[in-house]
Chain A
Amino acid sequence: MKKVKGFWIYVVLSAVIYGVIQLLINGGILNPFYANTLIFIGINIILAVSLHLVIGITGQFSIGHAGFLAVGAYISAIITMKFQLPFPLALLAGGIVAALAGLLVGIPSLRLKGDYLAIATLGFGEIIRIVFLNIDYVGGASGMQVTHLTTWTYTFICLFITITVITNFTNSRHGRACISVRENEIAADAMGINTTYYKVVAFALGSFFAGIAGGLFAHNFYIIQPGNFGFLKSFDILIFVVLGGLGSLSGSVIAAILLTVVSTFLQDYPETRMIIYSVVLVLVMLYRPQGLMGTREVTDLFGKWKGAKGGNSYGK
């Protein structure tokens, strides 16, 4: 009963947040700059949460997430620009193709562990980028023109679906299986959990939502270029998850909001932004390696609707 009540509180709260911001945008109180920042925050939250599922919940260290973002961005852009099909369909298709790419990458590489997995995903991310760089159909290095279709409504609906699906997944038996893989893969295997299956499922689901974020991303920026999806972008997403706390969904959401706001204000000083990012990353790792929230959730503070919890023994 308690869980159901918590869910409705969450739905009502989301509707209120959406409604208030939509009213502010319609009423012209939020100028287009702030509206655009909000959309960007939404996209970054989707990315952070999708990577949180892979790194925070399942414990598979992937640093090639921008590759799936790129797949979603290009596929959805092709569907709206070349086939003139509606935007929601493009988002969905971007997500599905990104999930397929995630399967394709995940099945071979998830046999690897730790550092090796990280490097392999980095390699795959770069290969995806180089493939797009060499396809003339999508404009090669000069990129592809995309019309602006992303609105606050689309972003919020996608964000809502992402958070709902990933929270419910985490709290289901599949999510618990993923957490057990994170905590101790050998023990999980011994308990009869098909670890490879759960790793691949989490990876594909994470890629799916990264693909959806890619669709929103592409239709928010007028132009997409392979250069936007290099490993610097992957590191950006990684920083959200690490700073927020590996294993905390609300942590990655908070970090995504915080860092997007900071980087928006530092837009004119890209070097300063990267210096701040990297110093924060190093300091957090040295003095608080579990991140801002650890594995706790914001909801834990209120004592109800507890998120899925794991020990503090992240990684090996």
Chain B
Amino acid sequence: MEWIQQLINGISLGSIYALIALGYTMVYGIIKLINFAHGDVFMIGAFVGFYAIAGWGLGFFPALLLAMAVCAVFGVLIERIAYKRLRNATRIAALITAIGVSLLIEYGFIYVRGAQAAAYPDVLANKNYDLFGIQVSSQSLLILVVSIVLMIILHFVVHRTKIGKAMRAVSHDMEAAQLMGINVNTTISATFAIGSALAGAAGVFFGVYYTKIEPLMGVIPGVKAFVAAVLGGIGIIPGAMVGGLVLGVVETIVSALGFSQWRDAAAFIILILILLFRPSGIFGKNAREKV
């Protein structure tokens, strides 16, 4: 019974990773950039939620929507200011810029606000439901349900709307898409907006679930979400969801076995094993490298 409970905890954690990983994977799919600043967008989302709940007394859902909106704008700004000029630059230059933007957001935020941690307000009354002898907290259930709803909306946007079609076309071949009359800049901005909004939602969930947030909280979940994206096959949306869930469950199991100190190492070991043996990920097709 305890194992099933751990599994549920793992899935809740995994759905947070999955939401962050979706942004990574969409951005990588479209401009081949590892957006290191994505973890910091997640952090900004957590803080927007925090101020909305603690400062303005908003409820959980309005705060969630506000965090998502602010993060979407923030993500687009990052893309417009820093990454747009680098479309034709080398991959390494883009990667270093992303690292720089990430550090700038972290330490800029610390400079403005201070580095101290904040306790997330108790916005959701936590009840424990008893399902067939398993204790399930209402929080993890809610996180799971809202994450699934967000992923379904995402799936709908990507596959059923015009902008989603444009996103898929641009990620397939940017130049050809441009020739077909697709506005590439708008499409890339839309991708950043959607990915960042999901990261913002993940930030609020993280705050509610772990009750402690700080300006550097985005670094480790950001890197782990990247691991999740690689695990599922980077650039593939269902892959990011599955990768996130798998990573969350594995981490929880490692902790439950009594190796909680090694929890972070587990993610990196998974990453290295995946990169070495199946670099295209669980869902990836083996694309041959072109000369």
> Taking the complex as formed, is A34 at the interface, i.e. its CB lies under 8 A from any CB of chain B?
no
Contact status A271-B110, CB under 8 Å:
yes
Q: Is B57's CB within 8 Å of the partner chain A?
A: no
Does A4 have its Cβ within 8 Å of any Cβ on chain B? no
- Give the number of residue pairs across the A-B interface with Cβ within 8 Å: 116
From the candidates B91, B97, B115, B269, name the one contacting A316 in the complex (CB within 8 A).
Answer: B91
A130 contacts B262, CB within 8 Å?
yes
A118-B95, A286-B86 given; A277·B103 CB < 8 A: yes
Q: Which of B187-195, B200-208, B271-279 forms contacts with chain A?
A: B271-279
A134 close to B261 (CB less than 8 A): yes
Is A127's CB under 8 angstroms from B279's CB? no
**Interface residue from B85, B92, B100, B275 paired with A116 (Cβ < 8 Å):** B275
Query: Given A235-B99, A271-B111, is A123 in contact with B272 using a C-beta cutoff of 8 Å?
Result: yes
Residue-by-residue, is A225-251 near B (CB-CB < 8 Å gives 1, otherwise 0)? 000000000010010001000100000
Over the window 100-115 of chain B, the binary record of Cβ atoms lying under 8 Å from chain A Cβ atoms (1 yes, 0 no) is: 1111101110110001
Number of residues of chain A lying within 8 A (CB) of chain B: 41
Give Cα A289 to B104, complex, Å: 18
Interface 0/1 of A248-279, CB less than 8 Å to B: 00000000000000000000000110110111
User: Measured between C-beta atoms, what is the minimum distance from A106 to chain B in Å?
Assistant: 13
B residues near A282, Cβ cutoff 8 Å:
82, 97, 100-101, 104
* Assembly CA distance A277 to B102 (angstroms): 11
Residues of B within 8 A of A314 (CB): 90, 92
A272 touches B271 (CB 8 A): no
B91 A281 Cβ-Cβ under 8 A:
no
> Within 8 Å of chain B (Cβ to Cβ): is A124?
yes
Q: CA separation between A131 and B104, bound complex, in Å?
A: 29
Contact A274 B291 (CB under 8 A): no
Does A300 belong to the interface (CB within 8 Å)?
no
Instruction: Say if the beta carbon of A114 comes within 8 Å of chain B.
Output: yes
Q: Does A298 contact B (CB under 8 A)?
A: no
- Which residue of B95, B102, B108, B262 has the most chain A CB atoms within 10 A of its CB atom? B95
B148 within 8 A of A: no
Tell me which residues across on chain A come within 8 A of B96, comparing CB atoms.
238, 242, 281, 285
- Contact pick for A61, options B92, B100, B101, CB 8 Å: B92
Q: Which residues of B sit under 8 angstroms from A108, Cβ to Cβ?
A: 272, 276
Structural contact, B100 and A285, CB atoms closer than 8 A: yes
Cβ of A122 within 8 Å of any chain B Cβ, yes or no, is yes
Determine the chain B residues whose CB is within 8 A of the CB of A286 once the complex forms: 82, 85-86, 97
The reply on A120 being an interface residue by CB < 8 A is yes
- Answer whether residue A111 sits at the interface, using C-beta atoms and an 8 A cutoff: yes
* Closest partner residue, chain A, to B289 (CB atom): A113
Bound together, the chains give a CA A246 to CA B58 distance in angstroms of 50
B179 at the interface (CB under 8 A from A): no
Take A281-B100, A282-B100 as given contacts and tell me if A119 and B271 are in contact as well, using a CB distance cutoff of 8 Å.
Answer: yes
Q: How far is the CA of A126 from the CA of B272 in the complex (A)?
A: 12
- Contacting residues, chain A, for B16 (C-beta < 8 A): none
Please name 9 pairs of A and B residues whose Cβ atoms are closer than 8 Å in the assembled complex, sorted by A: A63-B99, A114-B91, A123-B268, A235-B103, A242-B96, A274-B107, A275-B107, A316-B90, A316-B91
Contacts A118-B34, A123-B269, A285-B89 aside, 11 further interface pairs with beta carbons under 8 A come to A123-B272, A127-B265, A127-B269, A130-B268, A235-B99, A275-B107, A279-B104, A282-B104, A285-B96, A314-B90, A316-B91
The 6 closest A-B pairs by CB, nearest first: A281-B100, A278-B103, A123-B268, A274-B107, A315-B90, A278-B104
